[in-house]
Amino acid sequence: MPNPDAALYLRAADYFALGQWTEGLSVYRWPGYSLLIAMIMVLTGTKALLAAQIANGLLTLGTTMAFIALASRLTKGDKAFVTIATIMIVFQPQLMELRPWVIRDHGYLCFFLASIYFAVADNQKPSLLHKLALIGSLVLATAFRIEGLYLCLLIAMYYVLTRLRSVTQQASLIAVFIIATAAILPLIFGIWASGTFKNWMSGNIVPTQNPLFSSEILHRVETLEKEVLNLGSGHGWQAYISVVIGLAFFQIVRAFTPVYTVLAFFAFLPHRLLPRQAMLPVVWFAAGQLPMFFLFTFIVALLDWRYPMAFALMLMFAVVATATASWRELLMARPRAFFVFPTILIAIAVSWALDIPRHDRLAYYREAADWIRDNVPPGSHIWMNEPRIAYFSGHAYRDVAGVAQVLFLPSPEFETRGDIDVFVVSSHDVSGSRVRLPDMPSPPQLIKTFRGSDDDSIQVLVSCPEMKECKLRAR
């Protein structure tokens, strides 16, 4: 059973494969990943889930090849560095955890690294081919995630930085960029959430879409002031900003893993181990992403660990530099290397083992979906709170009460009338909140339960008195 948002990408791909573009865009409006899945479906005749796994395999291969090529480009073909980089990217623990997921991050990470490779190559040896490839990579990165637009800005700034003569000038420009971006991004986000610049100027902003300009953040600050700090201390904002910084830092380390974070640190201090020509690209394309992470965390008070994966991939080159330096010391038979290098290997192996993809614990979701597809006849009025069950049971999102609300689609007419035959309730609610069923004249009756691990379950309840073993009369 794939991740929760996979149901959106797969359903949109189903529509695109049938040429139903409007329906596909109504399910998910950033269609790059779903379009790729749909193209594979059309070319191979496979179903959406298998096509998504094929797409993931191709994109993961692209990410791996781009990382290795960039390692070679940054070190002028250093064989030891490239060999260790190859081993580390193949067994990068967090990428291994992401590989089974049906998410558009696969495409963004692939073309993120490809864009940086072509930018570095074009600055080392300018050519029209490099520039065209760079533009194509940026377009494809943006097709998968909106962060591709921000990557375009980072690439443009990289061209400026490479033309500055001193490290002091480069460091000063990076500091100015980070401060200016932190100030400007909230305004850009406000315009984005408002729909147009005119709406933003007139103050027509939907609070639920843009909590930065609503009372939601003020409520968080007030809660910290009243419930956590001493009432009247006046330090609510300081506390909230501290929480944002701490949360963002924790998730960045989670994306990079604590082991790799420590190893990356030693690539810069006490001595620089990263090759000189690699310093600017690695530092810039990692540090330049920080304003975006902190802004996102400030707005929603959440930063999933997979969002900073592009940051983590850039700092992976620092980890490779540390491991390469230790390996060379071992070849020279330096005493400390006989302790340091095995320690690095053991630490990386432990980090890798902890993030090996685990067996799917949501198999009962698929069981429930199969049972619903086989036992609930077409035309039944169904309420669900889990889009994945709706997808794998073959029900369109717009025709399922509850799921339509989760996906911000118009509610089916039968829901407004309270005319619901079957309730499919997942205790592992995608919103993380307590499950609340719609009000009904009489409470529905439980007829089937599918149990998972950690006391999670899916319950099927019916509201029709004459219904027995879910044998509804077709409408």
Residue among 105, 6, 131 at smallest CA distance from 387: 6
Which strands sit side by side in the sheet containing 400-401, from one edge to the other?
Answer: 400-401, 382-384, 422-426, 457-462, 445-451
- Report the pLDDT averaged over residues 357-377: 79
Q: What percent of the chain has pLDDT over 90?
A: 39
Look-up of token digits 């005119």: 198
pLDDT tens for residues 260-278? 999 999 999 888 999 999 9
The DSSP 8-state label assigned to residue 214 in this structure reads S
Distance between CA atoms of 110 and 58, rounded to whole angstroms? Answer: 10
Give Dmax (Cα) for the chain.
82
pLDDT at 475: 39
Q: What pLDDT shows up at residue 30?
A: 87
CB-CB neighbours of 104 under 10 Å: 23
Cα distance between residue 18 and residue 38, in whole Å:
9
Q: What is the CA radius of gyration of the chain?
A: 25
Structure confidence by residue, pLDDT tens digits, 306-358: 889 999 999 999 999 999 999 999 999 999 989 999 999 999 888 888 776 66
Chain centre distance of CA 157: 25
Which residue type, as a one-letter code, is found at position 87? Answer: I
By the 8 A CB rule, do 120 and 81 touch?
Answer: no
Dihedral, CA of residue 83, residue 89, residue 92 and residue 98, to nearest 10 = -160
Q: How far, CA to CA in Å, does 87 sit from each of 80, 82, 277, 316, 337?
A: 11, 9, 22, 12, 20
C-alpha 374/C-alpha 382 separation (Å) is 14
Whether residue 87 is predicted with pLDDT greater than 90 in this model: the reply is: yes
Task: Enter the tokens of residue 198.
Answer: 């005119």
What pLDDT sits at residue 472? 46
Give the least confident one: 206-220, 245-259, 295-309: 206-220
Average pLDDT, the chain: 83
Query: How large is the average pLDDT for residues 244-265?
Result: 89
d(CA 54, CA 420): 38
Cα separation, 461 vs 425, in Å, equals 8
153 vs 150: CA distance, rounded Å: 5
With contact defined as beta carbons under 8 Å apart, do 35 and 51 qualify? no
Q: Where are the domains of the chain?
A: 6-163+215-354, 363-462
pTM of the model: 0.81
- Please tell me whether residue 457 adopts helix, strand or coil conformation: strand
Per-residue pLDDT tens for 98-112?
888 889 999 999 999
Which residues are CB-neighbours of 199 under 8 A, at least 6 positions away?
Answer: 205
Q: Is the pLDDT of residue 142 over 90?
A: yes
| Structure token pair of residue 450 | 């599918």
CA dihedral (141, 146, 148, 149) positive or negative: positive
Indicate the pLDDT class of residue 179, thresholds 50, 70 and 90.
confident
DSSP state of 212: G
Q: How far apart are CA 103 and CA 112, in angstroms?
A: 15
Q: Using pLDDT thresholds of 50, 70 and 90, give the confidence band for residue 435.
A: low
Give the amino acid at 472.
L
Q: Do 390 and 400 touch, CB atoms closer than 8 A?
A: yes
Highest averaged pLDDT of the listed ranges 91-105, 137-151, 350-364:
137-151
What confidence tier does 139 reach under pLDDT thresholds 50, 70, 90? Answer: very high
pLDDT classification of 64: cutoffs 50, 70, 90: very high
